[in-house]
Amino acid sequence: VTARVGVVGATGYAGSECVRWLLGHPEVEVEAVVSRRAGTRLGDAIPSLFGLTDLVIEEFDAARLARLDAVFLATPHGAAADLARALDASGAPLVIDLAADHRLDPGWTYGQPEWNAEAIRGARRIAAPGCFATAIEMAAAPLVRAKAVKGPLFVSAATGSTGSGASPSEATHHPERFANLRAYKVLSHQHVPEVKALLARVGGGAAPDLHFVPLSAPLDRGILATVFATVDEGLDVGALFAEAYRGKPLVRVRDGSPEVRHVRGTALADVAAFRDGSAAVGLCALDNLGKGAASQAVQCLNLRLGLPVETGLLAVPCTP
Ligand SMILES: NC(=O)c1ccc[n+]([C@@H]2O[C@H](COP(=O)([O-])OP(=O)(O)OC[C@H]3O[C@@H](n4cnc5c(N)ncnc54)[C@H](OP(=O)(O)O)[C@@H]3O)[C@@H](O)[C@H]2O)c1
């Protein structure tokens, strides 16, 4: 299979990361890159891609994109819904949306490859999870699937500044962000409903309530999520995680704390579980632009194409 694909929003953080993974994918040809900067060479808009591709940014043309095997939408919330409607009208065979617009839409399939693979394999409209959502799901789902959680889940997760996109804002301004740590959207983050929906499916209909405090960390890339749960004393949480992620090549179950620098620039999710008495903790570190966005969308494409989920996505992390 060589799949011909297009990326809309290719000059953004998530879209350019999609292009980065797709250019190195052995079964994919990137045929179109789209943004409002039509006519600019992608290698000029994204200097890290300079000399590695001749692609020139195009205007959004639903009829042209619909002739490709797959279209990735990496545009801001709201824009994605309009573009997806145009692609629907033109009969696009496969759309993978990285924005939040369709994650709770019953006409779309939730693109969580480790926890929803069967549905993704047959889907034509795939909504890739949010970055925080992915990290929380990876850290919580093994406990929820085992129906081991008593009472609510409490979650805290710290993220890097690329999580809010390429347009500068006060919250991403270097002097405000650097050497600082703060909570925001306390108990009101927009990712909670999609996490609850996924966990309800994983748990066979019942999901624990979930309370989430996001933290803004002085990083550019990376999320570390900590999920706190009450469980039965004696529960082997390490065994639950090992079992849940056995045979999942992009998930590594660690003995100690996962670290964001070990997954930086990769498609990996590093997870770990701990228990003391009835207190259990699940941890997940991932790159918000990788497993939290672009590489996760490519995982979905791989499943849809019948390829091994890790095709084109296995890169050895750099340290330090
Ligand atoms: N950043 C993350 O960690 C992350 C993680 C998971 C999901 N996501 C989701 O992915 C999407 C993109 O996020 P991002 O962080 O990459 O944002 P971003 O850096 O602001 O990129 C947005 C992209 O969309 C393009 N664009 C905007 N309006 C457009 C339109 N009407 N038609 C065509 N292109 C348009 C922009 O390009 P021009 O300005 O050149 O037009 C840019 O390439 C968002 O929905 C976000 O929620 C992001």
Q: Note the pLDDT of residue 1.
A: 78
Which residues, in sequence order, are CB contacts of 296 under 8 Å at separation 6+? 111, 112, 113, 128, 129, 134, 267, 290
Cα 33 to middle of ligand 1, angstroms: 13
**211 touches ligand 1 (CB under 6 Å):** no
Q: What pLDDT digit, counting tens, does each position of 111-145 carry? A: 999 999 999 999 999 999 999 999 999 999 999 99
Cα 193 to middle of ligand 1, angstroms: 21
SS3 call for 275: strand
Angle at 106 between CA 102 and CA 107, to 5 degrees: 75
What's the Cα-to-Cα distance from 198 to each of 79, 153, 162, rounded to whole Å?
24, 14, 24
Q: What pLDDT digit, counting tens, does each position of 48-84 carry? A: 999 999 999 999 999 999 999 999 999 999 999 999 9
Cα 66 to middle of ligand 1, angstroms: 20
- Give the CB-side neighbour count of residue 318, counting CA atoms within 13 A: 3
Cα 296 to middle of ligand 1, angstroms: 16
Ligand 1 atom closest to the CA of 77, numbered from 1: 45
The best mutation among 21, 33, 36 to test binding of ligand 1, ranked by most ligand atoms within 8 Å of the C-beta, falls on 36
What's the Cα-to-Cα distance from 267 to each of 1, 17, 56, 259, rounded to whole Å?
22, 11, 26, 14
What is the rounded distance in angstroms from the CA atom of residue 275 to the CA atom of residue 19? 40
Residue nearest to atom 47 of ligand 1 (CA): 99
* Amino acid identity for residue 33 in this structure: V
pTM (2 d.p.): 0.98
The best mutation among 13, 46, 289 to test binding of ligand 1, ranked by most ligand atoms within 8 Å of the C-beta, falls on 13
Q: Note the pLDDT of residue 206.
A: 79
**13 touches ligand 1 (CB under 6 Å):** yes
What's the Cα-to-Cα distance from 82 to each of 46, 56, 62, 123, 178, rounded to whole Å?
25, 23, 11, 20, 36
The one catalytic residue among 131, 284, 300, 318: 131
Structure tokens at 112: 């969580």
Ligand 1 atom closest to the CA of 163, numbered from 1: 3
Question: Where on the phi/psi map is residue 129: left (φ > 0), alpha (ψ -120 to 50), or beta?
Answer: beta
**8 touches ligand 1 (CB under 6 Å):** yes
Residues of the chain with pLDDT under 50: none
Active site residue 300: no
Q: Note the pLDDT of residue 207.
A: 86
